Amino acid sequence: MPLALYALTVGAFGIGVTEFVIMGLLIEVGADLGVSIAAAGLLISGYALGVVFGAPILTAISSRWRRKTVLIALMVIFTIGNAACALAPTYETLMLARLVAALAHGTFFGVGSVVATSLVAPERRASAIAVMFTGLTVANIAGVPFGTWLGQEYGWRMTFWAVAVVGLIALAVLAIFLPPDEQNPEPQDWRSDLATMGRPQVLIGLAVTVLGYAGVFTVFTYIAPILTQVTGFSDAAVSPILLVFGGGLILGNLVGGRLADHNLDRSILLTLLALGLSLVLMFFLLGDKSLTVALVGLVGAAGFATVAPLQMRVLEKAEGAGQALASSFNIAAFNLGNAVGAWIGGVAIDRGPGLAALPLVAAVFPLAALALSVVAQRRERKAVAHAGAC
């Protein structure tokens, strides 16, 4: 893999830390700014909404720019946003700064996916996407715990200063190692891009992404109380178990990329099936501590094994100049799945079957995504066979 691809990985790492590190600093942020933990938690939701709405808008605005210029500009926005977070005097300004930082997220991964596939041979495109997304998985297993420790020891503002430094490093490596575009992208009417988004295959791909990731976050959002209140682990055991989850993310991400390079359609079906079955198994085996730890890792691996195939699927179905916009929409779809999963999990706890049943509730989503994918792939094969016969 070329060095330019690892430059994208550095940027993905910084963005991943920014998105998730706030989860470990809610108490410190709330105490410093005089808001409740619940209000501090809305900083996570605000960031997700920034990704959902910012990704397609920023991608459309920058559609005629050189892609290297776009990625560098996004890292500038990211760095400024995190510096603003560190300086924010009030809760409202911190929320605004989080929204600014979130603007870079979706477009970076969307445009970055297109650039990553252009850096390698056609048969390695999905693996290239997986390598870039490795930065996101490493952020979860290493960056977020370190950022949480830094914020608890030296104040939460220091964490955002550290992430801003990561942004500067990513900015430098992208400028140095990312090759310049051979030419400006051909002028593209935004209506043509939107027409690409209206293709049934693209819309189905986005729906599958939302459903698949809703399953992951229905459980992951509430993993700490599941482990302590249902399985019986101590509070101190949660962090080491989350490291197992993070290890699963890294492994699943790379395996998913390899599977997609061999057979994209089959990889989507296999990874969604693995995710659904691992969640069902977790439901039945939550009473066994050892098996629960193993299943936490398996859910992480299966969940992130879907990322490269789903991203590659949308890129293939978009084709041409609309790829960057479709790719950014798919990143927004991942974040929408996160939000939907967290909401459904909360409803299930408060008004439904309760905390212990969350894995079974979560399994419904990837299995529904699997069914939708099977139907879509069958229809595509029939359409191709019909076109060949004509």
Which has the higher per-residue pLDDT, 41 or 70? 70
Is residue 191 very low, low, confident or very high in pLDDT (cuts 50, 70, 90)? low
Residue 42 dihedral angles phi and psi, to the nearest 5°: -65, -15
pLDDT of residue 320: 60
Q: Write down the H helix ranges in the chain.
A: 3-20, 26-33, 37-61, 67-87, 91-118, 125-138, 144-154, 156-177, 190-197, 200-220, 223-225, 238-262, 264-285, 289-305, 307-318, 323-351, 358-389
The verdict on 87 and 63 lying in the same domain is yes
Q: Is residue 1 part of a domain?
A: no
pLDDT value at residue 162: 93
Assigned domain for 285 exists: yes
Largest pairwise CA distance in the chain: 69
Give the Cα separation of 120 and 221 in Å (integer). Answer: 35
Q: What percent of the chain has pLDDT over 90?
A: 27
Last residue of a domain, one of 132, 160, 178: 178
Instruction: Convert the pLDDT of each residue in 92-109 to its tens digit.
Output: 999 999 999 988 888 888
Say whether both 148 and 194 belong to one domain: no
Three-class secondary structure of residue 64 per DSSP: coil
Check whether residue 209 and residue 163 sit in a common domain: no
Rounded Cα–Cα distance for residues 168 and 164 (Å): 6
Residue 366 in domain? yes
Cα 192 to Cα 205: distance, rounded to the nearest angstrom? 19
Q: What is the DSSP string of 198-210?
A: TSHHHHHHHHHHH
pLDDT tens per residue, range 315-374: 777 766 567 777 778 888 888 888 788 788 888 888 888 889 999 999 999 999 999 999
Indicate whether 157 and 223 sit together in one domain.
no
Classify residue 64: in a domain, yes or no.
Answer: yes
Report residue 152 CA to chain centroid gap: 25
| Domain final residue, candidates 178, 199, 223 | 178
Average pLDDT over residues 280-308: 92
* Interval 117-139 mean pLDDT: 83
Residue span of the structural domain in which 280 resides? 188-390
341 shares a domain with 202: yes
**How far, in Å, CA of 84 to CA of 335, rounded?**
23
Joined tokens for residue 309: 């195939």
Model confidence at 184, pLDDT cuts 50, 70, 90, reads very low
Q: Of 178, 206, 239, which closes a domain?
A: 178
* Same domain flag for 171 and 252: no
Res 246 pLDDT > 80: yes
Same domain, 258 and 147: no
Tally of domains within the chain: 2
Residue 238 lies in a domain: yes
Residue 201: per-residue pLDDT = 85
Instruction: Give 1's pLDDT tier (boundaries 50, 70, 90).
Output: low
pLDDT digits (tens, 9 = 90+) for 196-234: 677 788 888 889 999 998 998 888 878 878 888 899 988
Across the range 34-45, mean pLDDT stands at 76
